[in-house]
Amino acid sequence: MHEYSVVQALLNQCEEIAQQNSATKITKVICKIGVMSGIEIHLLQVAFDTFKEGTLCDGAEFVINEQKLKVKCRECQEEYEIDEINYKCRNCGHLGMDTTDGEDMYLMSLEME
């Protein structure tokens, strides 16, 4: 369950940002998580709720925005989101697609006091 280590890194990052901004409390954490990131959103939420106690994030709302997989055709340059893994361009049929979003997790914003 690597979500625990992901949350520990996230909490450390939140605390560093709070310290850099002289904040004493974090009230909201907003993340974007790609469907291909390998992170189970439910488990991440459980881990955040478990490990936030005793940190600056204690009591913070955790908002998770799920990012669909976004691809771009190498041939026609069309970019679009897909719900399932299919690397054949829906526009021109080319099989060369690049993933442009949906594989990572990002800390998007913090609300602090």
Residue 84 sits in a domain whose CATH number is 3.30.2320.80
| Average pLDDT of every residue of the chain | 94
pTM of the prediction? 0.85
Q: Answer whether 45's CB lies under 8 Å from 111's CB.
A: no
C-alpha dihedral sign at 88, 92, 98, 99: negative
In the predicted model, is pLDDT for residue 29 greater than 60?
yes
Predicted confidence (pLDDT) per residue in 89-101, tens digit: 999 999 999 999 9
Note down the domain range covering 101. Answer: 3-112
Residue with tokens 């949350």: 7
**Residue 21's pLDDT band (cuts 50, 70, 90):** very high
Domains held by the chain: number: 1
Residue 81 CA to residue 57 CA, distance in Å, equals 32
Provide the pLDDT for residue 41. 94
Q: pLDDT per residue over 55-78, tens digit each? A: 999 999 999 999 999 999 999 999
Segment 39-50 mean pLDDT: 95
pLDDT at 19 over 90: yes
SS (H, E, C) the chain: CCHHHHHHHHHHHHHHHHHHCCCCCEEEEEEEEECCCCCCHHHHHHHHHHHCCCCCCCCCEEEEEEECEEEEECCCCCEEEECCCCCCCCCCCCCCEEEEECCCEEEEEEEEC
With beta carbons less than 8 A apart as the criterion, state whether 42 and 11 touch: no
